[in-house]
Amino acid sequence: MMSLKEIIEELVLETVSSVRLTNRPVAGGYAADLLSCAMKGAKKDYLWVTLQSHLNVVAVASLLNLAGVIITEGNRPDPETIARAEEEKVALILTPKTTFTVVGELTLLGVRGEP
């Protein structure tokens, strides 16, 4: 099983918060931009890929104990969101790539969607 840190290095991703926690192991992945869908589909220690970058992404990630959130298509969270992510110890990771591309790359690294 890969750690978040290894994934960040392999995919050359940018981290904006809680870098210390990037050593967490990643149990699986989930992608959607609707928060309720993430609530349903993402599980503890999963990596969530979304183009949403607002404050509620942090709330969902924290409630579900996700390993981290990859925010795609160059969307950047505002400082308030980053501050909240630090507070809630949620790793926010950024990439200019699309969700489709990132999910493809994650799959090649062995990150699976279904348990």
Partner 1 sequence: MAQVPKFTKVQELIYELPIERVMKKDVVKVTPDTSMTELKEILRLNRISGVPVLEGEKLVGVISIEDLIKALVQGDVQAPVRKRMTTQLITVLESESVVEAVKKFAQYKVGRLLVVNEQGQLRGILTGGDITRGLLETISLDYHAEEISRYRAKHIFEDIISDQTSLILRYKVKAKDFKKAGNASSKLKRALDRLGAVPEVIRRVAISAYEAEMNLIIHADEGGELTAELQPEVIRVTAIDHGPGIPNVDQAMSPGFSTAPNWIRELGFGAGMGLMNIKRCADSMRLESTVGKGTRLEIVVFLRQESGEQQTPDEERGPQPS
Q: Does 28 bind partner 1 (CB under 8 A)?
A: yes
Both tokens of 45, joined, read 């220690």
Looking at beta carbons only, is 34 or 108 nearer to partner 1? 34
Q: What are phi and psi of 39, to 5 degrees?
A: -55, -35
Tell me how far apart the alpha carbons of residues 110 and 23 are, in angstroms, rounded to a whole number: 17
Judged by CB under 8 A, the chain residues 39 through 58 that form the site for partner 1 are: 39-40, 43-45, 50, 52, 54-58
Q: Does 25 bind partner 1 (CB under 8 A)?
A: yes
Of the residues 9, 10, 14, 20, which one makes contact with partner 1 according to CB under 8 A: 20
CA 86, distance to chain mean position in Å, is 14
Q: Does 36 bind partner 1 (CB under 8 A)?
A: yes
Of the residues 3, 15, 75, 98, which one makes contact with partner 1 according to CB under 8 A: 3
Cβ contacts of 101 within 8 Å, gap of 6 or more: none
